[in-house]
Amino acid sequence: MLVKGGIFIEQASRIDTLCLDKTGTLTEGRPVVVTVLPRHERFSADDVVLFAASAEARSPHPLAHALLEGAKFRGVEVMDTVHFETVTGSGVISELRDGRSVFVGSERLMRQHEIDVDGIDGEANRMRESGETLLYVAVDKELAGLIGVVDRPMQEAFSVIQGLQRSGIHIYLLTGDHQKTADAVSRQLGIEHYYYNMLPEDKARMIEKLRAEGMTVAMVGDGVNDALAFAKSDLGIAMGAGGSDVAVEAADIALKANDLTRLPALRELSQKTMKVIRQNYVYSMGINALGIGLGAAGRISPLMGGVLHVMNSIGVILNSSRILLIKDR
C-alpha cells in the first residue's frame, strides 16, 4: 500500500462508508466475451466483434481488451482507425480507415446519437440478468449487434464485503452498468446499497450527498472514471495493478495489486496506528508532567531530568515500533 501522507492514515481510521466501483475493483478486471448477438442481416457475429474490437483497439479499458481477445479467438483481424474518441462513462466512437464510423458502448451512447435500439429489450434484459455487461455496436449509426461481456467477481470479494459490513462499514456499489447487471452483482456479493447507470459526475454527486449526511466516505476504484469521485471523497483509494495512471495520481492511497483484502488490512493498520499515537501522547505528556513536578519540587537534578527526557523519547520510539510487528496478510 502506498499512502501519500500521514493525514490519510488518520482518515482511513475514521471511514464508515465505502463506495466501490465494479469493473476492476469488485471484479477480476479480466472480462471475456460470452455472447454475440447480430441485429442486422448484413452483419455476422464475427463482423460485430470485428467492428467492436477495431473501434476499441486504442482504448486502455478492460472491456477493450476483452473485445480484442474475442477477435483473436475468432480469427478476425482488427482494422485500422483514423479517429478515436472516448465518451466518458458511455463508450467510444471511432472512424475506420475505410470511412465507416463505429459506435461501441452503452444504450445511453446509442440514444445520444439517435441510433435505433428499440425491439431488443427482451434479449438485452436476459443477458443483463445473467450478469453480462452489454456493449451495443453500431456501424454508420445502424445497430449491428450486441456483445455480452462477463467480468467475474474476485474470489475474495464476498468474504471481504461481508466482513467490512459486519464491522460497521456501509458499502455502496456505484457502477455505470445497467440496473439488472448491478442487481445481479449486488445479490451475488450481498451488497444492499447499489446505484447504476452512473456517469463520473453522478458518482461524485453521490459521494457529496453521503458526506452531507454526516458519513466519512472512501471511494475505491481503478479507472479514469473514478478520478472525480476520488477528489470529492474523504479518502480516495486506487486499485493499483490494473488502475489507470490518472486514478493512481488522483487517489490518496494506492494499493499495489487488485486485492480486496488490502481494504480490511488498511483499516486495521490505520486503527492500530492511531491507537499507538494516542498511547504515545498520553505517555509523553505524563512523563513530562512528572519531570516538571519533580524538578519544581527540587527532587531531581538537571542530569536526572535529562535522563528522564531521553527515556521518554526512547519509550515513544519503542512503542511506535510495535506497528512494524503487524503482519502483512
- List the catalytic residues: 21
User: Strand pairing partners for 219?
Assistant: 19, 236
Give CA–CA dist 237/219, Å, rounded. Answer: 6
Other Cβ atoms within 10 Å of 313 Cβ, number: 11
Asked if residues 207 and 19 have their Cβ atoms less than 8 Å apart, the reply is yes
Give CA–CA dist 210/24, Å, rounded. Answer: 23
Residue 229: closest CA among 220, 241, 239: 220
C-alpha cell at 247: 486514478
